Chain A
Amino acid sequence: SAVISQKPSRDICQRGTSLTIQCQVDSQVTMMFWYRQQPGQSLTLIATANQGSEATYESGFVIDKFPISRPNLTFSTLTVSNMSPEDSSIYLCSVDSGPSYNEQFFGPGTRLTVL
């Protein structure tokens, strides 16, 4: 399985500011994913990031609010823009890995609190 790290692990931000979350993988992967997990709830996919192409966003998520970069096969960033308290969540990066590329492995998450 891939080893995934995220920075920062947590942050407290002011309303109206933006935060960029980094995701680093220890091996080259085709697909990287960004999820949101609101307190006490399940995971919701924000977008899928392929290297060299625009990210694909799920319903309810837009590029202006959650711009994503994928400059190479081991790294991605997610920016949470113009934050409001409703953006307070855990943001998780995951990658397709394993022999059949169906398994997804997750990073430790970034816990964001917006005041």
Chain B
Amino acid sequence: GESVGLHLPTLSVQEGDNSIINCAYSNSASDYFIWYKQESGKGPQFIIDIRSNMDKRQGQRVTVLLNKTVKHLSLQIAATQPGDSAVYFCAEKETGAGSYQLTFGKGTKLSVIP
């Protein structure tokens, strides 16, 4: 569901299962997207990025899917582990606009059940 104020969407997943975290982005001109992981008390950590000329990109245990038609981004985590518990943010950027600004989504809290 949508988050308002302090209430982040939460996804609870059993250890070993796959996780899918979704993000709707706002700017149809955005051509670069990043997923970040933020553990409690730490700064956001870069996970994976994708450019708008791609639909899918894979990393180690993570896959990002981009659907430009509906402005939707997803992060898939395979074989979710307790260490994956964190808040995940998507971010978008319009690299051709001369701006360096990243616009962040609201975040999803992933809780892994051992």
Task: Identify the A interface with B (CB < 8 A).
Answer: 1, 4, 31, 33, 39-45, 48, 58, 92, 94, 96, 102-109, 111
Q: Which of B1-30 contact A (CB under 8 A)?
A: 5-8
State the CA gap A83–B41 with chains docked (Å): 22
Most A Cβ at <10 Å: residue of B7, B89, B93, B102? B102
Q: Tell me the minimal C-beta distance from A61 to chain B in angstroms.
A: 13
The 10 closest A-B pairs by CB, nearest first: A106-B43, A40-B6, A43-B104, A42-B104, A106-B44, A108-B43, A109-B43, A42-B106, A102-B32, A107-B43
* Pair B93/A102 contact, Cβ less than 8 Å: yes
Inter-subunit contact B100/A103 (CB<8 Å): no
- Of the candidates B5, B45, B49, B89, the one whose C-beta lies within 8 Å of that of A43 is B89
Least CB distance, A55 to chain B, in whole angstroms? 12
Separation of A43 and B12 alpha carbons in the complex (Å): 23
Which partner residue on chain B sits nearest A42 by CB separation?
B104
Shortest CB–CB separation between residue B92 and chain A, in angstroms? 11
Give the complex CA separation of A34 and B70 in angstroms: 30
Not counting A1-B46, A48-B100, A103-B49, a sample of 13 additional A-B residue pairs whose C-beta atoms are within 8 angstroms of each other reads A4-B43, A40-B6, A40-B8, A41-B106, A42-B89, A45-B101, A92-B43, A102-B49, A102-B93, A103-B46, A104-B34, A104-B91, A106-B43
Known contacts A40-B7, A41-B6, A102-B32: does B42 contact A109 (CB below 8 Å)?
yes
Q: Which residue of A lies closest to B100 (CB)?
A: A31
Q: Nearest CB to that of A108 among chain B residues?
A: B43
User: 1/0 per position for B77-114, CB-CB distance to A under 8 A?
Assistant: 00000000000010101010000111011110000000
